[in-house]
Structure 1
Amino acid sequence: MTDNHLVASEVLSKGTWQGDAVDRVVLSYDDRFRRRVMLKSEKGADVLLSLKEAILLQSGDALLIGADRLIEVVAAPDKLIEIRCESEKALLRTAWHLGNRHLATEILKGSLRIRYDKVILEMVEQLGADARVVDAPFNPEGGAYSGGHTKVHGHDHDLHP
């Protein structure tokens, strides 16, 4: 504890920690992309997240405070589009279009979820998908190069010789 707040400098991935968390932080998708930020726990504690590099905190991860105190990360509901299609091929085609636009996508059994965007909603409907707006926690795929936690990074599409 420093200056009346707790400090978390390590994140334990979902499924790798045991025991009971002493508290929880409930964060939207945007609030889970972090390196250094002050968070407020459900019990009112100020928690300074101070990591070496930015990562995407996943629901079920734990922030390690000191040697053994854990604060669980919980994904708050976000405004999303849930996409279903009449066939697996149509769903894969829709997923290809979302990936081509580099949209973070959560893959569920028989459906996809993306963050709400009116233009993208219209696009998937034009592709023949059944799309509806839902409020739900958003846990998109980490990507091919993310390893455990998704690191925040940029890239371009220039061809490299």
Structure 2
Amino acid sequence: MLRVVSHHHAGHSSGSPFDVVVLAHDERHLRRKVLALRNGLDVLVDLPEAIAFHHGDLLVLEDGRSVEIIAAKEQLYEISGQNGLHLMQLAWHLGNRHLPAQIEETRIVILRDHVIKSMLEGLGAKVSEIVEPFQPVRGAYHGTHSHGHGQGGHSHDDGHHHHDHSHQPSHHHD
């Protein structure tokens, strides 16, 4: 089986990919995994550290060929507010629940969850069902690169960040 030995971020390489792999948002955080390409070939991703890939990034195989990552279309909610400030308040309520969210200037996009939809509508948001690629903001503790560990004696593991970040629907309703 061919191995993925390196990668390029979208727009940073020449040549065209020979195949593509379609991955949902939670499948694009890769370190070691077998991926099935669209045309049927399996490849082994085997990277020294986990990397959060984005739509359009390329995986480079040991034979030099590349595979483009395509963000899968997902069942989502598009949230709009009454104005910019209202949208920021809605983002705060969502962030408080540690939900993956794609935050844009005029809308927020989240995975469908009827409990959250009811909460948002109760806060005056307009919530619509959409199907498109989902590209949530990467959390500060997703750790694709380590920044500043051990500098100035400040450790990131200070006991304050032990939330459950498995993105399962939460079962504790406020």
1:72 deviates by 0.2
1:13 aligns with one of 9, 12, 22: 9
TM-score by length of structure 1 reads 0.82
Q: Which of 95, 104, 109 is the equivalent residue of 1:108?
A: 104
Amino acid at match of 1:31: E
User: How many residues of Structure 1 are paired with residues of Structure 2 in the alignment?
Assistant: 150
Instruction: Select 1:70's aligned residue among 58, 66, 71.
Output: 66
Pairing partner for 2:162 from 141, 156, 159: 156
The 1:114–1:106 alpha-carbon spacing in structure 2 relative to 1, beyond 3 Å, is same
Helix, strand or coil at the partner of 1:16: coil
Matched, 1:137 2:133: yes
Shift of 1:73: 0.2
- Could you tell me whether the CA contact under 8 Å between 1:10 and 1:63 is conserved in 2? yes
Opposite residue 115 of structure 1, the aligned amino acid is L
The separation in 2 between residues aligned to 1:15 and 1:97, in whole angstroms, is: 35
Q: TM-score, structure 2 length as denominator?
A: 0.77
- Partner of 2:110, secondary structure, is strand
CA shift, 1:120, in A, is 1.2
Q: Is the 8 A contact 1:143 1:150 kept in 2?
A: no
Equivalent pair of 2:2/2:61 in contact (CA under 8 Å): yes
Percent identity between the two aligned chains = 39
Residue aligning to 1:58: 54
Shift of 1:156: 1.6
Q: Any idea what SS the aligned residue of 2:87 has?
A: helix
Please tell me the residue identity of whatever aligns with 1:44: G
Q: Which structure 1 residue ranges, 5 or more long, are not aligned?
A: none
Shift of 1:51: 1.6
Note the aligned Cα RMSD (angstroms).
2.3
For the 8 Å contact 2:102–2:134, the answer to whether it is kept is: yes
More displaced stretch, 8-17 vs 79-88 = 8-17
Q: CA deviation at 1:13?
A: 1.6
| Cα offsets for 1:94-118 (capped at 9, x unmatched) | 0111111121111234101011112
* 1:52 Cα deviation from its structure 2 partner: 2.0
Judge conservation of contact 1:105–1:140 (CA < 8 Å) in 2: yes
Q: Which residue of 1 aligns with 2:93?
A: 97
Where relative contact order (Cα < 8 A, 6+ residues apart) is larger, the structure is 1
Deviation track 1:67-112 (CA, whole Å, cap 9, x = no partner) reads: 6311000001111111011111110000111111121111234101
Whole-angstrom CA distance in 1 between matches of 2:13 and 2:59:
10
1:40 equivalent in structure 2: 36
